[in-house]
Structure 1
Amino acid sequence: MKTLALGSHGLTVSAEGLGAMGMSVWYGARDEQESLATLRRAIDLGVTFIDTAEAYGPFENEKLVGRAIAGRRDEVTVATKFATEFDDDGTSHGLNGSPAHAHRAVDRSLKHLGIDVIDLYYLHRVDPDVPIEDTVGAMAEMVHAGKVRHIGLSEAAPATIRRAHAVHPLAAVQSEYSLFSREPENNGVLETLRELGIGFVAFSPLGRGFLSGQITRVDDLDLDDARRHLPRFSPENIAKNLAVVDDLRELATAKGVTPSQLALAWVMAQGVVPIPGTKRRAYLEENAAAADITLTPEELATLNAAVPPGIASGERDTPTGLARTYL
């Protein structure tokens, strides 16, 4: 796996990362042993940029990642996030971007991960009730204390990014980004990051699984899979979206790759680091191979014509989820 500089502030990561969220929450049935094997196989393959968060569980995903990287800490770049205030029993009290909560959260994440320092610590969602300068000021204190190496934001608006970056350099910002979700191209986020030398990390680069070509109907998802409640997977939208995936599959077949690999290669061609999530080694290996795919300008143009911005039917998240993005 190739490595690259994520932004211009000294953080180097694998060209493709691994999102660990689905190993613990939201995406249906889980197998802890297969998840551990997948995380360890990722390290073997050089997919060493591992993304987790306190909210995934809560806590359980960080603990899982901690078990997987035990004895191999120096081989991985660990990214985790905080924002929601949780009691130790997991009770949620909503967003809290206060410095006091930030300091409590980082200490708990370090404990759950079983590490001494977090490589990249994100504010998971911006708290509209706390000035971003206060939250990032606390995160800067973590850097100075040696608890965190680099900091970032998730799903933040350009103005917020600029204000945060003025307090302490941001290494990265992450948002949902894929052929199906191209808002960062249109809302000024990508332009702002490139201007400031901040890296961009794309979560859900496979459109929450749609672009893999593995989902053909809602019943392919487990009954407790949260995607069943997302607008793009609704009966009125899924058929329209699958027609687009069929076009993607034709292009992938012509290229001699899978739909997942083609979709990931497109994201990487934008200068973005994708962190596709998976719970299984087979899909991990398929995704990792995408880093070796080169797309010509002509192929990129064909892809953009086949899957143009805005073609996906339905919003990418629920109204509640969308209300917490791009603040």
Structure 2
Amino acid sequence: MQYADFARSGQKVSRLGFGAMGFAGWFGAQSEADSIRALHLALDRGVTFIDTARGYGESEFILGVALGQWQGEKPFVATKVEGLAGITQWGTPVPAEAAFPKGQVTASCEASLRAMGLDHVDLLQLHTYWANWGIDGDWMEELQTLKRQGKVRQIGISVPDHRSDMVLPIVASGLIDSVQTIVNIFDPTALEVLVPFCVTHKVAVIARCILDEGGLTGFLTPDTVFAEGDFRRDYFDGTVPRSSYIEKVAALEGFIPAHASSLAALAIKFVLADPGITTAITSMHVPAFAEANIAALDEPPLDSKTFRLLATRHRFIKNFTNVKHFGKP
């Protein structure tokens, strides 16, 4: 396992993090026991960073149960404040007071602590942030108050979609400790501006969607059918034809096995090739996923030529989140 300093916290975290969104059942139903087993397996393998959210169904509760049973060193726990403006708050700017009215940040944090059975979280993030909110308001005051009270060690924001450059002003403000944003082979643009900017300002970067909701693993075929409740039912078919996506993934097969043991390993190694990425989270809620993803870190890193080729010749920038927020065109 690789480790990195988390901003100015004095704490180190694993560069591969456990994304607990899968505990919500949004990738398909799974037993609580299997979810807990997957997390314990990841912790045993050296993962120390866990990311969840108040809005991820039962995720925080299941995480709390798992942590209560865990006998090892306490991991770094990050969660997110639940916004109240509905699903479109992640697709288009809404007023700050609509998503996080006065008291909401505090109430969400308190609910998260109760659900997980913790007296503090290592990182509390706004689940969405829009640049037109600026750097102050009730939401920021509450985040800072929670930090002073010790209920939160660090505070951060999550970029709602692919437009990572819009958060540069708040990064420069010195008021936040981390930014969570999309980074993957198909969309590496955050690596060009946001990530080096965060390094300069000593702000941690949490990369998400590094496997593009699983698409970069090569699992998607023309005949793949998603179960009821799986949010990917529309994700891969609403913005571009599924055939186009499959074709783009197939073009990456030429890098296997010379540069990685699998497409998933290639995608993980690509994101972690940039030292500015503090930690990269994947949905390791299935034990087999956890084993495979962690094993990728035992492989030799990508050489700079291969990294550059992937970043420039294989980008496939699209905004699949639009379908989730607004429906199919």
TM-score of the alignment, normalized to the shorter chain, above 0.5: yes
Aligned equivalent of 2:74: 75
Instruction: Report sequence identity in percent.
Output: 26
Paired residue for 2:89?
A: none
Name the SS for the 1:318 alignment partner. helix
Aligned counterparts of 1:143 and 1:74: Cα–Cα separation in 2: 23
Report the 3-state secondary structure (helix = DSSP H, G, I; strand = E; otherwise coil) of the residue aligned with 1:222. coil
Which deviates the most, 116-125 or 170-179?
A: 170-179
- Is the aligned partner of 1:182 residue 2:188? yes
Deviates more, 1:139-148 or 1:289-298: 289-298
Aligned residues of 1:248 and 1:306 also touching (Cα < 8 A)? no
Asked whether the equivalents of residues 247 and 306 of structure 1 are also in contact (C-alpha less than 8 Å), the reply is no
CA drift at 1:161: 4.8
Deviation at 1:192, TM superposition (A): 2.8
* Of 171, 175, 196, the match for 2:201: 196
Q: Which residue identity is paired with 1:265? A: K
Kindly state the Cα deviation for residue 29 of structure 1 after the two structures are TM-superposed.
Answer: 2.4
Residue of structure 2 equivalent to 1:118: 121
TM-superposed CA distance for 1:166, in Å, is 2.9
TM-score (normalised: structure 1): 0.84
Secondary structure in structure 2 of the residue aligned to 1:37 = helix
Conserved in 1, the CA contact under 8 Å of 2:81 and 2:126?
A: yes
Q: Equivalent residue for 2:272?
A: 268
Q: Which moved more, 1:236-245 or 1:37-46?
A: 236-245
Distance (Å, rounded) in 2 between the aligned partners of 1:128 and 1:30: 37
> Which letter does structure 2 place at the counterpart of 1:46?
G
Tell me which residue corresponds to 1:89.
none
Q: CA RMSD in A?
A: 2.6
Return the TM-score normalized by structure 2: 0.84
Q: Is the 8 A contact 1:52 1:80 kept in 2?
A: yes
Question: What is the aligned residue count?
Answer: 307
Task: Report deviation, 1:84.
Answer: 1.5
CA deviations 1:205-244 (Å, max 9, x no partner) are 00111101122236242233111212x4349522111122
Q: Which stretch has the larger CA shift, 287-296 or 24-33?
A: 24-33
Task: Specify the code of the residue in structure 1 equivalent to 2:182.
Answer: E
CA distance in 1, matches of 2:297, 2:84: 36
Match of 1:282 in 2: 288
2:144 is matched with 140
Matched-pair contact (CA < 8 Å) for 2:76–2:122: yes
- Written as runs of structure 1 = structure 2, the 5 A alignment for 1:297-312 is 297-307=304-314, 309=315, 311-312=316-317
1:109 aligns with one of 102, 108, 112: 112
Question: Which one-letter code corresponds to 2:119 in the other structure?
Answer: D
Residue 93 of structure 2 corresponds to none
> What code does the residue aligned with 1:189 have?
L
Which residue number corresponds to residue 62 of structure 2?
Answer: 64
Q: Which runs of 5+ in 1 are unaligned?
A: 87-93, 323-327
Superposed CA deviations along residues 4-24 of structure 1, whole A, max 9, x for unmatched, are 113344342111001110221
Kindly indicate whether the alpha-carbon contact (under 8 Å) linking 1:15 and 1:291 is maintained by their aligned counterparts in 2: no
CA contact (8 A) 1:132 1:160 kept: no
One-letter code aligned to 1:96: A
- Checking the alignment, whether the CA contact within 8 Å between 2:135 and 2:173 is kept in structure 1 is no
- Runs of 4+ that moved beyond 6 A: none
Instruction: Give the structure 1 partner of residue 303 of structure 2.
Output: 296
Task: Supply the distance in 2 between the matched residues of 1:50 and 1:250 (Cα, whole angstroms).
Answer: 33
Question: CA–CA distance in 2 between the matches of 1:177 and 1:193?
Answer: 14
Equivalent position SS for 1:202: strand
Q: For residues 325 and 225 of structure 2, what CA distance do their matches in structure 1 show?
A: 23
Q: Any gaps of 5 or more consecutive residues in structure 2?
A: 86-96
Which of 251, 257, 261 is matched with 2:261 structurally? 257
Could you say which residue in structure 1 is the equivalent of 2:94? none
Which residue is equivalent to 1:29?
29
Q: Cα gap change, 1:319/1:220 in structure 2, threshold over 3 Å: closer, same or farther?
A: closer
Deviation at 1:282? 0.9
Kept in 1: contact 2:260–2:266 (CA 8 A): no
Name the CA distance, whole Å, in 1 between partners of 2:109 and 2:149.
Answer: 11
From 235, 241, 244, the equivalent of 1:240 is 244
User: Residues of 2 paired with 1:47 and 1:115: CA distance?
Assistant: 19
Verify the 8 A CA contact 1:122 1:151 in the aligned structure 2.
yes
**Alpha-carbon distance change, 74 to 97 in structure 1, aligned in 2, over 3 angstroms:** farther
Higher mean C-alpha deviation, range 67-76 or range 193-202: 67-76
Distance 1:96 1:71, change over 3 A: same
